[in-house]
């Protein structure tokens, strides 16, 4: 399952993240890394909002389509 398809209010575990090293490293710095659990606060249309490590992050649809997740 991709992060972009997760319904609102659901917590999921990150499996893998696509994109360059820079993107992955920076996402890990805010708490989005393989194995981390994030909660989807809002799903499309519009950007995805996740709760991670106590803060809210808006992630673009394109980016969210590159994040593979599974049931937490």
Partner 1 sequence: MKKLIKVALVGNPNVGKTAIMNALAGTSEKVGNWPGVTVQKKTGCYSFRGFEVELVDLPGIYSLTSYTIEEKVTRNFLLGGDYDVVADVIDVTLLGRNLYLTLELLEMGIKPVIVLNKMDELEDYGYTIDKNVLEKLLKLPVVEISAVKKKGLDELSETFLMVATGDLKPEGFTPLYSDTLENAISLIEYFFKDVKLSYPKRWFLIKLLEKDPEVTEWAREVLGEKFTGLSKEMERIEEEVLRKFRCDLPSFVAKERFLLASRIATAAVKHVIEFPYESFSDKIDRVVTNPFTGIPIFFFVMWLVFKLTFDLSSPISDLIDNFFSSFLPGIVENYLSFLPQPLKSLINDGVLAGVGAVMVFLPVLGILYLLMSVLEDTGYMARAAALWDNFMKLFGLSGASVIPMILGFGCNVPAIYATRAMRSSVQKLVTMMIIPWMSCSARLTVFSVFTAAFFKEHQSIVMLGLYLLGVFLALGLAAVLTRFLAEGEVDEFFIELPPYKLPAWNVVLNQTFIEIREFVTKAGTVIFAVSVFIWALASLPPGSTYAGEETFVGYLGKLLLPLFAPLGIEDWKPIVALIFGALAKEVVVGTMGALYGSSEEGLGKALQSAFTPESAVAFLVFTLLYIPCVATIAAIKQESGGWRYPLLAVAIQLSVAWVMAFLVFNLLTFL
Residues engaged in binding partner 1 (CB under 8 A):
8, 15-17, 19-31, 33-36, 41-42, 45-47, 49, 51, 53-63
The minimum distance between CB 17 and partner 1, in angstroms, equals: 7
Which residue in this structure is represented by tokens 């980016």?
63
Which residue in this structure is represented by tokens 């519009």?
46
Cα gap 10→2, rounded to integer Å: 13
The minimum distance between CB 19 and partner 1, in angstroms, equals: 8
The minimum distance between CB 5 and partner 1, in angstroms, equals: 16
Question: Do residues 28 and 57 make contact, with C-beta atoms less than 8 angstroms apart?
Answer: no
């Amino acid at each position: 399952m991709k992060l972009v398809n997760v319904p609102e209010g659901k917590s999921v575990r990150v499996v893998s993240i696509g994109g360059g090293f820079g993107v992955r490293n920076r996402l890990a710095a805010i708490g989005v890394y393989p194995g981390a659990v994030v909660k989807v606060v809002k799903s499309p249309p519009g950007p995805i909002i996740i709760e991670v490590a106590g803060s809210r992050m808006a992630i673009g649809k394109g980016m969210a389509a590159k994040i593979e997740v599974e049931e937490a």
